[in-house]
A and B are shown apart, each in its own frame.
Chain A
């Protein structure tokens, strides 16, 4: 396992990208860093530059205007970079798949490593998802 992935399992620096979201998932992501859930104790930290990111937390229904920016951000993220789809919109575009302003779902645009369903997913669900991801990266079931 590459040293980067190994390091990832000890401490993940996450960068948040919204590609046309209603903000609910984004707020629940931020909520993870506040006292009740406090994911920093697991080594998860929110960073302000994609250049420092180990993982991208992507929310949103893939709005046409937002997708190019999201792709550029992914290109700039140092690889390997884990992509986490947070929320129903990022999973499948949710009800917006009928929208004139939404094209392909996220996993047809970028390779997704973790899907966290919910509208929005509860913080506990997000933590559960990240634990599963870390275990997968470590090679555990």
Chain B
């Protein structure tokens, strides 16, 4: 299965940028409103394995990288999504598509304060229950 070609064909203009840093590292970005459909394409249609997702604070707000592995070729497809809202960052959850995403999205919410709309169980994962609500450990202190 030609993964790269299929992604480009199915997503078309939704792909904002596409960079192949090496033969096994493909980074591409879509608008945050397209994240659910893109992940459905990668996971359900193309059968890629969800490895993890990393959230990060950026000057404009936040960024999430969803890393999908095509094990047969040892390639990693990292889907980049920007959330340009510093006050109330949010994005559609991908957990409804497959259960493995539940903990990953909970961790990002807990550490960075990004709200995952539609997440079935957005509650504390790593931090204690009495951790203050408005403190997000991975945010740079203001």
Contacts and interface: CB of A to CB of B under 8 A. Distances in A.
Contacts of B127: 64-65, 101
Of the four ranges (under 10, 10 to 19, 20 to 34, 35 or more), the interface on chain A belongs to under 10
A101 B127 CA distance: 8
A100 B138 CA distance: 10
Most buried by A among B127, B128, B131: B128
Contacts of A65: 127-128
A101 B110 CA distance: 13
A64 B137 contact: no
Contacts of A64: 127-128, 131
Nearest to A101: B127
Nearest to A65: B128
B125 to A, nearest CB: 11
A100 B128 contact: no
A64 B131 CA distance: 9
A98 to B, nearest CB: 12
Interface string B111-142: 00000000000000001100100000100000
A65 B137 CA distance: 15
Contacts of B137: 100-101
B119 to A, nearest CB: 22
Nearest to A66: B128
B134 to A, nearest CB: 14
Interface in A44-103: 64-65, 100-101
Contacts of A101: 127, 137
A62 to B, nearest CB: 12
